[in-house]
Structure 1
Amino acid sequence: QITAWLRATFADRPELQVSHETIYQAIYVQSRGNLRAELTRQVALRSGRTQRRPQSRAAGAARSRRPWIGDLHISNRPAEATDRAVPGHWEGDLVIGKAGASAIVTLVERATRYVMLGALPHGRDSEAVIGVLTDLATRIPAHLRRSLTWDQGTEMATHPHFTIATGCPVYFCDPHSPWQRGTNENTNGLLRQYFPKSSYDFRTINQTGLDEVAHELNTRPRETLGWNTPAQRLAQLIAP
């Protein structure tokens, strides 16, 4: 938030801008004395960790060898998706259950914050994920399937099948850039109220149960929507 605010406020003065990594380094590496002692007594990261987790070079190299991404980088996503003025642009992710043994698909529409959830009872390989995504996407009209933004996970290796079936292109974020799917990250945080991290087994809930949770989220008034609900906003877009 700080980085983005500085970039927008001082667009023509790069000397007044700072990267998010520099801020983290200042807090977690350069801090000394009272500040460092205070940080050791509290959970300062939303992840629950008190220190930054170093990134693996090997993992970075592996991510660079993902041919399914091609030229479908988020920078090539239609500009209309960025400002949320045009509905129909979605963000998606997998939420992983206890011990990594289960998962569900989460989708959220950027303009309305409308949420759809998909069960994965048969695993989370690419074929299973693409099948569930296709089923969810066909619940909504074609004019509201303009794009889907995802991370670079292997579950999207067969994404062309999804695009052929739905007409919805898929775009991929940069590695370690969850803010590029900020609406989805926020939604996943809300979902943890229903499905506690590291302790919930998604094999204990079926599609009907997930639809009920999505309904609760979609009928919750949101300040960002002028206290309308996501369901109300989506209904306005679907109404003839």
Structure 2
Amino acid sequence: MTYTHLSTNELVMIEAYYQIGKKVIDIAKALNRSRQTIYRVIAMLKKGYSAYEYYEQYKKNKCYCGRGKTQLSKKERALIQAHLDKGWNFDVIKGVYHKKISCSMRTLYRLVERGVFKKEDLPWKGKRRANGRKETRGKQAFVRDIHERAKYYPAFKEEFGHLEGDTIVGKNHQSAVITLVERKSKAIITLQTDGRKAQDIQKAINRWMSSFSTLPHLFKSITFDRGKEFSDWKTIANAHDIDIFFADPGCPSQRGLNEHSNGLLRRHGLPKQTDFIGMTQSYLSSIAHKINMIPRKSLGYKTPYHVFLIYLKEALKKAMSKNV
């Protein structure tokens, strides 16, 4: 049975019963309370305190009830802050260093509200579109719909080699960066391009995929949005024997991993209003590498880079065994 504290009415009744000389056992029965509770109040009354003074003392003592606020050591705070600066979130930090951090992940988020850590250091949150908003973009015709994908790849969610693709647009919509993410490993690829035209995008993707020419069919499919920059998709598909699908207009959640990856890239080196003209491939790759080296809970706290290499090595072994 849950214990409830004495109310002000009960305290007044105890004081009245005590003054008329009623026995403790009778007071306890009348209030349906334990005798120990009654004895505690009467002990204060015998010292000359009133029921009101007892209640004031009770309120003061109640401030010390319950669990105290969590206090992290300087070593713990330094460890957490160092990894927040690297782009890790609390979930990953707690999962990897569960023996070194004394509080739970939820408590870490409460510490943000207390000002121990800054909200600005936490991963970004997406924005909502207004209810009833109609999408007017992405009217490309003659594309392979995303709903055909399940027909050709029943094990789509379990197997390696399926990419999601998009572009990050630069300052004044004059430049762009191609972003690809492999679904199984969550590895991000950033590609430099000379412009935003479909021909520029097609050349950049062809150049990157040609680097895997010794591993045919390593990548099985790519899912793009319906932007005009991907209108040369047939050229890419024919050159590399890869299936290309397109998400429904105004449905970024169908390429949710890619959208999330773009947000990470924006946060860690490619913010909005960045001019990508003249930006080198090595610089773009270094930004992607930084994110790919952050462990993911969904990967068993392995990094996307590590998981990608595991699948790549398996593909190399299969290719070598076929050539023998």
Q: TM-score, normalised by structure 2?
A: 0.53
Shift of 1:195: 3.8
For residue 268 of structure 2, what is the aligned residue in structure 1? 194
- Quick check: 1:149–1:172 contact (8 Å CA) kept in 2? yes
- Write the deviation string for residues 6-47 of structure 1: whole angstroms up to 9, x where unpaired: xxxxxxxxxxxxxxxxxxxxxxxxxxxxxxxxxxxxxxx823
Q: Out of 100-109 and 212-221, give the one that drifted further.
A: 212-221
Shift of 1:143: 3.1
- Quick check: 1:68–1:157 contact (8 Å CA) kept in 2? no
AA partner of residue 261 (structure 2): T
RMSD after superposition: 2.3
Structure with the bigger RCO (C-alpha within 8 Å, sep 6+) is: 1
SS in 1 for 2:157: coil
1:130 aligns to 2:202 (yes or no): yes
For residue 181 of structure 2, what is the aligned residue in structure 1? 108
- Quick check: 2:269–2:287 contact (8 Å CA) kept in 1? no
Distance 1:166 1:112 in 2: 21
Between the two proteins, what is the percent identity of the paired residues? 29
Q: Which runs of 5+ in 1 are unaligned?
A: 1-44
Bigger Rg, structure 1 or 2: 2
Distance 1:206 1:224 in 2: 31
1:219 aligns to 2:219 (yes or no): no
Shift of 1:202: 1.3
AA partner of residue 196 (structure 2): R
Shift of 1:82: 6.9
SS in 2 for 1:85: coil
The 1:74/1:50 distance shift into structure 2, 3 A limit, reads: closer
SS in 2 for 1:143: coil
1:89 aligns to 2:162 (yes or no): yes
- Write the deviation string for residues 83-112 of structure 1: whole angstroms up to 9, x where unpaired: 521110000000111221211000000110
- Quick check: 1:145–1:167 contact (8 Å CA) kept in 2? no
Distance 2:240 2:311 in 1: 18
1:174 aligns to 2:248 (yes or no): yes
- Write the deviation string for residues 29-78 of structure 1: whole angstroms up to 9, x where unpaired: xxxxxxxxxxxxxxxx823x78558336xx36xx44x2341xx1000014
Distance 2:258 2:244 in 1: 15
AA partner of residue 100 (structure 1): H
- Quick check: 1:116–1:136 contact (8 Å CA) kept in 2? no
The 1:113/1:139 distance shift into structure 2, 3 A limit, reads: farther
Q: Which of residues 211, 219, 224 in structure 2 aligns to 1:139?
A: 211
- Quick check: 1:68–1:158 contact (8 Å CA) kept in 2? no
The 1:214/1:75 distance shift into structure 2, 3 A limit, reads: same
Shift of 1:206: 1.1
Shift of 1:149: 0.1
AA partner of residue 97 (structure 1): G
Q: Which of residues 161, 164, 170 in structure 1 aligns to 2:235?
A: 161
Shift of 1:198: 3.0
Provide the aligned length of Structure 1 versus Structure 2.
187
Q: Which of residues 46, 52, 55 in structure 1 aligns to 2:134?
A: 55
AA partner of residue 46 (structure 1): G
Q: Which of residues 118, 121, 130 in structure 1 aligns to 2:191?
A: 118
- Quick check: 1:152–1:175 contact (8 Å CA) kept in 2? yes
Shift of 1:197: 4.0
Q: Which of residues 125, 141, 161 in structure 2 aligns to 1:67?
A: 141
Distance 1:124 1:196 in 2: 16
